[in-house]
Chain A
Amino acid sequence: EVQLLESGGGLVQPGGSLRLSCEASGFSFRSYAMSWVRQAPGKGLEWVSVINYSAGTTDYADSVKGRFTISRDNSKNTLFLQMDSLRAEDTAVYYCAKAQSSVTTTALDSWGQGTLVTVSS
Chain B
Amino acid sequence: DIQMTQSPSTLSASVGDRVTVTCRASQSIDSWLAWYQHKPGKAPKFLIYGASRLESGVPFRFSGSGSGTEFTLTISSLQPDDFATYYCQHYNSYPYTFGQGTNLEIK
Contacts and interface: CB of A to CB of B under 8 A. Distances in A.
Contact of B43 (A59, A105, A106, A112): A112
B91 A109 contact: no
A95 B1 CA distance: 22
A36 to B, nearest CB: 11
Given A44-B101, A47-B89, A62-B1, A109 B46 contact: yes
Contacts of B38: 45
B46 A107 contact: yes
* Contact-residue bracket for chain A: 20 to 34
A50 B97 CA distance: 12
Question: Lowest 9 CB-CB distances: which A-B pairs, in order?
Answer: A107-B34, A111-B43, A107-B49, A44-B101, A59-B94, A45-B98, A47-B96, A109-B46, A61-B95
A55 interface: no
Interface of A: 4, 35, 37, 44-47, 50, 59-62, 95, 97, 100, 105-114
Interface in B63-105: 85, 87, 89, 91-92, 94-101
Q: Chain A CB within 10 Å — which of B1, B43, B89, B98 has the most? A: B43
Contacts of A109: 46, 49, 55
Interface residues of B, number: 25
B43 A113 contact: yes
Interface in B8-48: 32, 34, 36, 38, 42-46
Most B C-beta atoms less than 10 A away, residue of A4, A44, A109, A113: A44
Chain A interface mostly helix, strand, loop or mixed?
strand
A106 B91 contact: yes
Given A106-B91, A107-B49, 20 more contacts: A37-B44, A44-B98, A45-B36, A45-B38, A45-B44, A45-B87, A45-B98, A46-B98, A47-B89, A47-B95, A47-B98, A95-B44, A108-B46, A108-B89, A109-B46, A109-B55, A110-B46, A111-B44, A111-B45, A111-B46
9 contacts: A37-B98, A45-B87, A45-B101, A47-B96, A59-B95, A95-B43, A105-B91, A107-B46, A112-B43
